[in-house]
Amino acid sequence: MSVNQDNGWTKPVHTGVLVLASGEVIEGYGLGAVGEAVGEVCFNTAMTGYQEILTDPSYAAQIVTFTFPHIGNVGANEDDIETVDLARSAGAVGAIFGAPVTDPSNFRAESTLTSWLEKRGIVALCGIDTRALTALIREKGMQNAVIAHSPDGRFDMAALKAKAAAWPGIDGMDLVPTVGAKERFDWRETTWKLGAGYGAREGAPKYRVVAIDYGVKRNILRLLAEQGCEVIVAPATATSAEILALKPDGVFLSNGPGDPAETGKYAAPVIRDLLAAKVPTFGICLGHQMMALAVGARTRKMPQGHHGANHPVKDFTTGKVEIVSMNHGFAVDRDTLPENAVETHRSLFDGSNCGIALTDRPAFSVQHHPEASPGPQDSHYLFRRFVELMKEAKAA
């Protein structure tokens, strides 16, 4: 650690800072990429899966504060990246840890987290009171800020404060173009298994699924392929005519970042056409919000959002409570749901809407992440529910 000489004693040099839009400065120690990044600061309560979290495209333009203090002890590898395009650095722009990153102790580690962050271009900060920062977010909401790392500890604080204050925030931003696919492609990879790694779909597919990519995670596509589906990934700009021309048995609406109301301006009309054609449809996270917007509901910004792998959600269709993975800063306003949209899932933390099903169309969606990665696998059944929907529609 760098030091300053001052009257015969040494003191650590703070090589990293978090500058909030309010002007507050939090000092710590920089790691990962050198430089600065502007974004919205949120907190994530997961105890593991930090690599999947940081590469989830839904975290675009966000700085993730990990409430669990010890991050990095399993290192990093190429297998746990959730961004579909490995060459793109879509995902969180910054990361904040309580304790310094330790050396990895895991048989799957290919590098340290610190070197991986640097390679990925993620600016990180450690050695701060993440509990206090989390409390601030809980009380005042997610903060706009600049995170900066300078090995010599020199920062232009006036410029950083001005940059943080000038950033408009995620509310009103369509971030899907920054993370989604530009062209259509096929997906065959299935889930990871110990000793074998990732597999590939074999044999003739049972159903053809077109996945609209608003910022899709790899594990979602793997679970669709695991169900024996032919998966065709289409960009978010694909028209309903282009999607229907592929003769899908089902359409999947993916997760993604940004303000759903902005993305919905071009996505909702496409989804309305697909619903009118009675194509079985399944949405996750931003895809859930897109489906709600398509049927006339509205979304709202949440003060602190839901970010973690320990969220209890009740499925009213089964009466069961699931522990799920979540990552969203906007929610569907249940009071605006039309009569043909029935609430199927609800958060037991704050009572917010977490799922809907349409009564006059073969379509449903959930706010949480049933694919996990990271997180529990309680909700994997939703992929089978989607397959059953396609099976019924095909039989009819």
Annotated catalytic residues are 285, 369, 371
Q: Which helix (H) or strand (E) holds 381?
A: helix 381-395
> Cα–Cα distance between 317 and 190 in angstroms, integer?
28
Within 13 Å, how many C-alpha atoms sit on residue 309's CB side? 17
- At 142 the three-state DSSP class reads coil
Angle at the Cα of 153 from the Cα atoms of 152 and 157, rounded to 5 degrees:
135
Whether residue 101 contacts residue 113, with contact meaning beta carbons closer than 8 Å, is answered with yes
Tell me which residue has tokens 């859930």. 288
Within 13 Å, how many C-alpha atoms sit on residue 172's CB side? 3
- At 159 the three-state DSSP class reads helix
Q: Which of 274, 272, 269, 237 is nearest to 256 (CA)?
A: 237
Angle at the Cα of 208 from the Cα atoms of 203 and 213, rounded to 5 degrees:
120
> Cα–Cα distance between 209 and 213 in angstroms, integer?
12
